Amino acid sequence: KRFVAPRSHLPQPFDHVGLQNPSHDRVRTRERAATAAIAVTATMASSRGPSMAWLIAASVVAACSGLQPGGSTELVRYFAYGSNMASKTLEGVRQVYPRDCTPALFRDHRLAFDVPGLPPFEPSFANVKPCAGFDCHGVLYTVTREEWRTIQRTEGVGSPFGGYRVVEGTFLTYPPGLGRDRRAITADDPDTAEVEGYTLKYSPPPLGLAIELPSSRRYLGLLRAGAREKGLCERAVRRLDEQRPFL
């Protein structure tokens, strides 16, 4: 019988699961929300090549409105399926150091590349969409509430021009000790555990369309690296490897 984590009011302290991350003891500078948003997104912009002014503007707006409230000591479960699976992005760019992490999947959802970027350099970014019978594989992190707010700011949550929004969900963690040693892990596996948490979904602007486009080689490389780094199952890694880049 599958273990079901007790359903309670989120956010709350969680037991440590999965891979332990010793870097959580690092001292992190706490800056004001708007300043942090500009600094981090500017770093993202320089790493992505062309101007990302729209993302910086959205992050500044999000820093001042639309974010979930809460203290900095509470812990939150966050499911990442895009470039945040890679430590290079989550820690190196966003300066977020999770307490722990474990491979997981989002039942009846699929990975889609319909978040608009700036073609031809960055045509699209990752999104998760409802799709019966599919599983979206990713990484379930445990982060502080302050770090969760940082993730939201740097992802542009709260922008009135469309973008990511926070959604609550039930995620299935991989069976203990399993990962790339299994060819495939699905929601039907009886040893998975249900955990309540949050993720981000893209909402297009009013009258806007969500069109799926191939992502850049650089962006897909981050997803592939993160999937291997965090031990996603072989089938999930293979699906990412089979994605053809735009350039």
Percentages of the chain per state (helix, strand, coil), in multiples of 5? 30, 30, 40
Is residue 174 part of an annotated ligand binding site? no
In a domain, 77, yes or no: yes
The verdict on whether 194 is a catalytic residue reads: no
In a domain, 13, yes or no: no
Is residue 82 part of an annotated ligand binding site? yes
Is residue 141 part of an annotated ligand binding site? no
In a domain, 33, yes or no: yes
Q: pLDDT tens digits for the chain (247 residues)?
A: 455 554 443 444 333 334 445 444 443 433 444 444 445 444 444 444 444 444 444 444 444 444 544 445 699 999 999 999 999 999 999 999 999 999 999 999 999 999 999 888 999 999 999 999 999 999 999 999 999 999 999 999 988 888 999 999 999 999 987 544 578 899 999 889 999 999 999 998 877 777 899 999 999 999 999 999 999 999 999 999 999 998 6
Predicted confidence at residue 59, as pLDDT, reads 47
Domain extent at residue 179: 19-241
In a domain, 7, yes or no: no
157: domain CATH number? 3.10.490.10
Q: How far apart are CA 214 and CA 82, in angstroms?
A: 14
Predicted confidence at residue 161, as pLDDT, reads 82
Q: What does the DSSP assignment read for 21-59?
A: -GGGGS------HHHHHHHHHHHHHHHHSS--HHHHHHH
In a domain, 129, yes or no: yes
Which of 210, 119, 129, 130 lies closest to 163, judged by CA?
210
| Active-site position among 146, 155, 212, 234 | 155
Is residue 79 part of an annotated ligand binding site? yes
Predicted confidence at residue 72, as pLDDT, reads 57
In a domain, 170, yes or no: yes
In a domain, 9, yes or no: no
Is residue 81 part of an annotated ligand binding site? yes
Please give the structure tokens belonging to residue 150. 């940082």
Please give the structure tokens belonging to residue 94. 């966003």
Phi-psi region of 150 (alpha: psi -120 to 50; beta: other; left: phi over 0): alpha
Predicted confidence at residue 181, as pLDDT, reads 56
In a domain, 4, yes or no: no
Q: How many domains does the chain have?
A: 1
Is residue 202 part of an annotated ligand binding site? no
